[in-house]
Amino acid sequence: MPRSARPKANPPQRRAPARRAAPPPRKSGGLVGILKRWWLAALIWAALAVGAYLVWCAYGLPDVDAAAREPRRPAMVVEAADGRVLASYGDLHGGYVDIDRISPHLVHALLATEDRSFYHHFGVNPLSVARAMWVNYRAGAVRQGGSTVTQQVAKNLFLSPERTIRRKVQELLLSFWLEAKFSKDQILALYFNRVYFGGGTYGIEAAARRFYGVSAKNVDLYQAAALVGALKAPSRYNPLSNPENSDGRARQVLANMADAGYLSEAEAKRVPRRWAVRSTGGAGYFSDWILDAVGDRLGPADRDLWVRTTLDPRAQRIAEEALAATLDREGARHKVREGAVVVLDRSGAVRAMVGGKAYVPGGFNRATQAVRQPGSTIKPFVYLAAFDRGLTPETMADDAPITIRNWSPRNADGRFRGIVSLRTALIHSINTVPVRIYQQIGAAPILAMCARFGIPQDDEGPSLVLGSGAVTLLDLTAAYAALANGGVGVWPHGVDSVRDRGGQIVDRPAGGGPGRVADAAAVSEVVGILAQVLVEGTGRNARLPFAAAGKTGTTQDGRDAWFVGFTDRYVAGVWLGNDDNSPMAKVGGGTLPARIWRDVMTDLHR
């Protein structure tokens, strides 16, 4: 066969690669694998939920600037004439002080008691939180807190006091923000300037001055311990209202300072006690009166005010003690439960005011609010009106029974003396003679005289001259100050000056008075007679070893008893009675009130 005709050989075939066997299917891992996947998914969802919750909490955070400017009640601080704090009203905030103007004792006391790792943590102290949780768990109640100073700043400055998880998370977020924005010293300063110390006092500067009369920079070791100690429970550990609790807490803070290394145990035990600056309790009546007086004069306060008053703490103490001692000793036997005392100087400035036996905040002030019948203390003004109409102390009148429209006034001793001079009638407080004066000169001159002296009366008919009208003790005492001044009237006042936080004078009332209200010669005659009242008349129990004048007053059935009088330095008025207008037992103006007046004046002139 020809070569060309040979059949072609088949080309070599490439061997197909051998097929690999499929790998065996993987096992799913069973239950463990499923749990792992679910656990991972759960973690992712939990992280998303926590993130969403944090965003929600952060979204609800307050506006920091707005919270720092949150409005508060303006404060009013009432001071005695010597600068001693008598009372404060509203929310008293001290001026902002930097950390370098805060006593190191205060810083050490705070850190030793509240946050010893303050300079080392990032706003939250996990160890303190864990320790507090363990202590509280063991005790079965909340015994210890784990909040740092930073957390307390966040809570006090920006957040509400509600106890919820969201608020606690917000507290943590704000703490981190505070630590990032401010230095540690700035956070401490924020804390000291905004924390509440009790008694309506916010901030260390206000608290140091309120409780100890010093600036924050000059607080000593004991004072620092007491002030920091009060932070735990401001009412319970208030240095003024609870001095023994405050001292016990201060000793604990001092022990904390020793334990933290700021002083030795021996030094802590040797620290002497410092008493808070305390005003006399009865000055509360005066302070409440001042609060109203400033409000009436200046209107609603739009800033903190400091009111320097005319009150003399020594005179206040004397008046309080004299009234309290008499009521404690004689009150039950004579069925008298209340009283009031007012002391003025000759200008009308209130030097002491006691509005009752025991002060109740915002309570009824019997010196300024009790409107009572004046009894025979009104008679000097009746006689002044008579002298203005031409009568004289030597004018004679008949002390004999008299009846006017079924009314027959009697004398306190039940006797009638016949023909007597007006001088004698006033010295012995005879009742029939001023009634005859009323018949002779009429009501108009008497009403006008009373009004000029600041004690306007209604026309009660002839009983007017025996004191059937109405007065307050303060106004009546001021009327006698006009007698002491020879007929020149005064306006009773208690405010010397009002200033703002920066010390700028906001108001300085002028005091003063209406000027001359009666003829000087006529007043001199009346004052001479009133001096004899203490020597031979109804006011003998008020007699002093130096020149003085005054008048007794007793109303029907012994419901009110008065003594009002003056020396060359002071004018004082005393009232005794019962709030329910019930009669006293054998109490007249010449008995207990005269003795209280004598005791007050004697001590004032020592």
Is there a catalytic annotation at residue 114? yes
Domain ranges in the chain are 85-270, 317-492+513-604
Is there a catalytic annotation at residue 460? no
How far apart, in Å, are the Cα atoms of 537 and each of 22, 431, 551?
136, 14, 9
Q: pTM of whole model > 0.75?
A: no
pLDDT < 70 positions in the chain: 1-29, 41-42, 45-73, 91-92, 125-146, 156-173, 175, 277-282
Q: What is the pLDDT of residue 72?
A: 55
Q: What is the pLDDT of residue 52?
A: 52
Q: What is the pLDDT of residue 53?
A: 46
The span from the CA of 573 to the CA of 554, in Å, is 14
Judge contact between 230 and 198, C-beta under 8 A: yes
How far apart, in Å, are the Cα atoms of 391 and each of 431, 463, 597?
17, 20, 31
Q: What is the pLDDT of residue 334?
A: 97
How far apart, in Å, are the Cα atoms of 389 and each of 403, 451, 458, 462, 515?
24, 17, 21, 17, 21
Q: What is the pLDDT of residue 547?
A: 97
Q: What is the pLDDT of residue 59?
A: 46
Q: What is the pLDDT of residue 68?
A: 46
The span from the CA of 210 to the CA of 201, in Å, is 8
Q: What is the pLDDT of residue 137?
A: 52
Q: Which CATH number fits domain 317-492+513-604: 3.40.710.10, 3.30.2130.10, 3.30.420.40, 3.40.50.150?
A: 3.40.710.10
Q: What is the pLDDT of residue 49?
A: 55
Tens of pLDDT, residue by residue over 170-215, are 666 676 777 878 888 988 988 898 888 887 788 898 889 888 888 8
Q: What is the pLDDT of residue 455?
A: 97
Q: What is the pLDDT of residue 280?
A: 45
What residues have CB less than 8 Å from 173, skipping those under 6 apart?
54, 57, 58, 61
The catalytic residue among 79, 103, 114, 330 is 114
Q: Where does 85-270 sit in CATH, by number?
A: 1.10.3810.10
Judge contact between 461 and 439, C-beta under 8 A: no
What residues have CB less than 8 Å from 268, skipping those under 6 apart?
254, 255, 257, 258
The catalytic residue among 128, 246, 287, 376 is 376
